[in-house]
């Protein structure tokens, strides 16, 4: 088995999860210009809801992911409606800072309810691996990648083909004009938060599925680990973050193989900073053009 | 301003100062007698290793509550002050300063990560206050090992590797997290393996926040080892064991951090039979033990709401309980509010055994690792542990 070929398999599975994590950030950023760090809290809530449904309700993992996504979407919409809609008039920067605080609140609530000990998931997916061109492809990697891609496709379809999605696109393209034409910014933002909440819950759930563990620290940390992927794609490019996630996961594994683990974090953030230097809006983001 | 106004002002100011002096004395008096000792907890109570930090907090609380209940009205009670170092070296140093200078702690416990322990070492040495760390990489006269010292596992690792693989010179894959202690352990293990005629076919590090284990797992699969020596988070053990198994690798895994990761160890699927948890401090503590010291330990934990189980009794909780016992023995000889070189000297003479809980726990001026043995168990059927061997711990 070639280590490099196996790394490609792992990069696809990890990159798809990074992409899904990033899509939630991008959806909210497009609709509200706010970088919402609450996504890490929603991933945590989603992962633990997923765990509870599997272990307490004894439902299958697919149903557990769907219920978790629906529950966190509702929670996310409520959070926007009752908290952030009230502070939306303030600077986006201040709101972003407030989202960090809210993520901390969710972490604290999860710690009170479930403790700080990582919980092991029961084996809900076969541990069998398929061998393809000398590469082991675990069943769980296939399932998590397919779920991530389906989630991603559904998100893009909602944005492209539904009225609420088109309203979100309108606000993202030109918010004052969209509002002038009768689009409710509050409703659009609430819908964006709900969609982002759902993606976070799915990402948290499949990350747990893939690692066999629901880890409070690891799950909320995933949002930060995936952040360079979002910068790589561009903050407002929902479609681009999937590619950003795949590239970023590939770079991480490449660096590990060539230079070792100690260079992975350094290389990731150097890549992010270098890109910001030459292309601040990322590969697929919309550059802010100013007419002089 | 007239004299009368000035005198009235002075009286009001004096009353305010007296009030200010009186209020804290009342509030501190309500929780702490005048001559109470203060112990500090400077640990990772949040972040990726918070599980271990909170275990330290629980074990120390249990010991202190039980001890305070036994000292009577005239004895010196102990207060605990806990600060979260957030898995950050700079915060660990700040906390250590605050605990010693502000809270007047005469001993501190915690620091799961060796890097955090190292960051606080300079402070504790400057103020001459003993500090117990879960992970110690660089020995210091003021720093005491609180838990399993992976650096002493090398000979046990090699002996156990030969035993569980059934080979006299097995091919070993080493996988450790990138902490100072573990990096040193991996390096020492490579040297010792070469000297013993064993071969280390893969030597890799993991980040604490790693999200993808594909490459380390692929490297191990490609190296075709006879046995894997692993020191990592419990969550990483679960993920990597599963990924290795699905790649067809089911060679024995010696898990050096067995005792401190019991929640994940005992939650491995019951079909897993290739994991060998290692215990570098106490042997496995059973909830149904009839040993009087174990029973006293369980009673103390129950006092702070812990339900006895394999998970709750083993690991950092037990390690810090023993550390606190050692500190309290030295403290009792040293006297009220004693710290500094006298306390250090007494700690360095500490030696005790507590039945089935621990044997030959001892500090000396040149060795602050109190544990002398490594216990290697074979995990089967979920929670069944069979002792494979007991090995001498060596620096």
Whether B263 sits inside 8 A of A118 (CB atoms) is: yes
* A281 touching chain B per CB within 8 A: no
Of A136, A215, A262, the CB nearest to B178: A262
A28: nearest Cα among A176, A190, A152, A162:
A190
pLDDT of B73 reads 62
Q: Indicate the pLDDT class of residue B29, thresholds 50, 70 and 90.
A: very low
The residue of chain A with its CA nearest to that of B215 is: A7
How confident is the model over B32-86, as pLDDT tens digits? 444 788 999 999 998 778 888 999 999 999 999 999 998 766 677 899 999 999 9
Nearest chain B alpha carbon to A211: B239
Bridge pairing between strands A129-132 and A135-138: antiparallel
- B211 with A10: Cβ contact below 8 A: no
Which CATH number characterizes residue B173's domain? 3.40.50.2300
Among A43, A103, A115, A118, most B C-beta atoms within 10 A, so best to mutate, is A118
For B247, the domain range is: 151-284+373-392
pLDDT averaged over every residue in chain B: 88
CB contact under 8 A, A117 and B246: no
Distance in angstroms (rounded) separating the CA atoms of residues B389 and B384: 15
User: A246, A209, A211: which is closest to B211 by C-alpha?
Assistant: A211
pLDDT digits (tens, 9 = 90+) for B256-304: 999 989 999 998 988 899 999 999 999 999 999 999 999 999 999 999 9
Count CB neighbours of B385 within 10 A: 22
Residue B187 lies in a domain: yes
A192-A198-A202 Cα angle (round to 5): 145
Q: What is the pLDDT of residues B200-223, one digit of tens each?
A: 999 999 988 888 999 999 999 999
Q: Name the residue among A217, A225, A257 with its Cβ closest to that of B50.
A: A217
- Portion of chain B with pLDDT greater than 90, in percent: 73
B220 within domain boundaries? yes
d(CA B19, CA A87): 42
Asked if residue B248 is part of any domain, the answer here is: yes
Domain layout of chain A by residue ranges:
3-278
- A127 touches B at CB < 8 Å: yes
CB contact under 8 A, B214 and A7: yes
Residues of chain A scoring pLDDT < 70:
1, 88-90, 288-292
Whether B46 maps to a domain, the answer reads no
Q: Which residue has the tokens 């509200």?
A: A32
pLDDT of residue B74: 64
CA distance A183 to A1: 55
Predicted pLDDT at B72: 66
Average pLDDT rounded to a whole number, residues B17-37: 43
In this complex, the residue of A11, A17, A225 whose CB is nearest that of residue B209 is A225
In a domain, B218, yes or no: yes
Is B353 within a domain? Answer: no
**Total domains in the fold of chain B:** 1
pLDDT bracket for residue B7 (50, 70, 90): low
pLDDT score of B192 more than 70? yes
How many H-runs (helices) and E-runs (strands) does chain A carry?
13, 4
* CA separation for the pair A42, A48 (Å, rounded): 10
Which has more confidence, B28 or A217? A217
Kindly tell me if the per-residue pLDDT of B387 is higher than 90: yes
The Cβ-side half-sphere exposure at B242, using a 13 Å CA radius, reads: 31
Could you give the CA distance from residue A153 to residue A245 in angstroms, rounded to a whole number? 15
Whether domain A3-278 has CATH 1.10.3470? yes
Answer with the residue of higher pLDDT: B253 or A93: B253
């Amino acid at each position: 088995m070639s280590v490099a070929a196996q790394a490609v398999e792992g990069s696809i599975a990890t990159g798809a999860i990074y992409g899904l994590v990033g899509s939630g950030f991008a959806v909210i950023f497009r609709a509200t210009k706010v970088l919402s760090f609450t996504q890490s809290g929603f991933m945590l809530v989603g992962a633990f809801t997923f765990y509870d449904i599997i272990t307490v309700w004894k439902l299958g993992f697919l149903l557990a992911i769907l219920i978790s996504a629906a529950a966190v979407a509702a929670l996310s919409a409520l959070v926007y409606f009752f908290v952030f809609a009230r502070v939306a008039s303030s600077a986006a920067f201040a709101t972003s800072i407030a989202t960090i605080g809210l993520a901390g609140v969710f972490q604290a609530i999860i710690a009170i309810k479930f403790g700080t000990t990582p919980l092991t998931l029961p084996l809900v997916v076969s541990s069998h691996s398929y061998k393809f061109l000398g590469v082991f492809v675990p069943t769980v990697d296939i399932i998590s990648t397919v779920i991530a891609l389906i989630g991603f496709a559904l998100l893009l379809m909602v944005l492209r083909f539904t009225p609420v999605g088109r309203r979100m696109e309108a606000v993202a393209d030109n918010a004052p004009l969209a509002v002038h034409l009768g689009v409710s910014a509050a409703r659009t933002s609430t819908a964006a938060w709900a969609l982002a909440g759902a993606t976070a819950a799915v990402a948290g759930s499949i990350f747990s599925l893939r690692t066999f563990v629901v880890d409070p620290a690891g799950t909320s940390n995933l949002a930060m680990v995936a952040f360079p992927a979002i910068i790589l794609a561009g903050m407002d490019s929902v479609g681009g973050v999937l590619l950003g996630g795949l590239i970023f996961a590939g770079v991480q594994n490449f660096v590990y193989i060539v230079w070792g683990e100690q260079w992975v974090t350094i290389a990731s953030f150097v890549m992010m900073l270098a890109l910001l230097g030459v292309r601040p809006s990322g590969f697929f983001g919309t550059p802010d053009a100013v007419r002089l | 301003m007239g004299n009368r106004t000035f005198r009235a002002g002075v009286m009001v100011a004096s009353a305010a100062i007296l009030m200010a002096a009186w209020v804290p004395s009342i509030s501190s008096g309500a929780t702490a007698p005048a001559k109470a000792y203060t112990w500090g907890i400077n640990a990772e109570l949040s972040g990726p290793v918070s599980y271990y930090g909170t275990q330290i907090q629980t074990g120390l609380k249990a010991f202190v509550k039980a001890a305070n209940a036994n000292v009577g009205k005239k004895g010196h009670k102990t207060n605990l002050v806990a600060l979260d170092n957030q898995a950050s070296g700079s915060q660990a140093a700040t906390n250590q300063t605050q605990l010693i200078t502000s809270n007047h702690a005469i001993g501190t416990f915690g620091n799961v990560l060796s890097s955090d322990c190292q960051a606080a070492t300079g402070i504790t040495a400057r103020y001459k206050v003993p500090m117990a760390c879960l992970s110690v990489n660089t020995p210091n006269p003021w720093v005491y090992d609180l838990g399993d010292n992976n650096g002493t596992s090398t000979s046990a690792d090699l002996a156990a590797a030969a035993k569980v693989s059934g080979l006299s010179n097995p091919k070993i894959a080493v996988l450790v997290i990138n902490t100072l202690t573990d990096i040193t352990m991996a390096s020492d293990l490579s040297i010792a393996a070469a000297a013993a005629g064993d071969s280390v076919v893969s030597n890799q590090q993991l980040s604490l926040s790693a999200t993808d284990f594909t490459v380390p797992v692929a490297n191990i699969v490609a190296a075709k080892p006879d046995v894997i020596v692993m020191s990592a988070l419990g969550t990483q053990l679960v993920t990597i064991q599963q990924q290795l198994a699905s790649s067809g690798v089911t060679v024995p895994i010696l898990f050096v951090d067995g005792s401190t990761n019991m929640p994940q160890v005992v939650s491995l699927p019951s079909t897993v039979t290739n994991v060998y948890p290692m215990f570098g401090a106490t042997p496995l503590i059973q909830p149904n033990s009839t040993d009087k010291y174990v029973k006293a330990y369980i009673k103390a934990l129950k006092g702070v709401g812990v339900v006895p189980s394999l998970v709750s009794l083993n690991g950092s909780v037990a390690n810090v309980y023993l550390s606190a016992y050692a500190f309290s023995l030295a403290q009792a000889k040293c006297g009220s509010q004693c710290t500094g070189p006298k306390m250090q000297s007494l700690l360095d003479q500490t030696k005790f055994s507590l039945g089935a809980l621990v044997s030959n726990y001892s500090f000396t001026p040149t060795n602050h690792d109190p544990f002398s043995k490594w216990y290697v168990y074979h995990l089967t059927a979920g929670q069944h542990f069979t002792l494979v061997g007991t090995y001498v711990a060596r620096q």
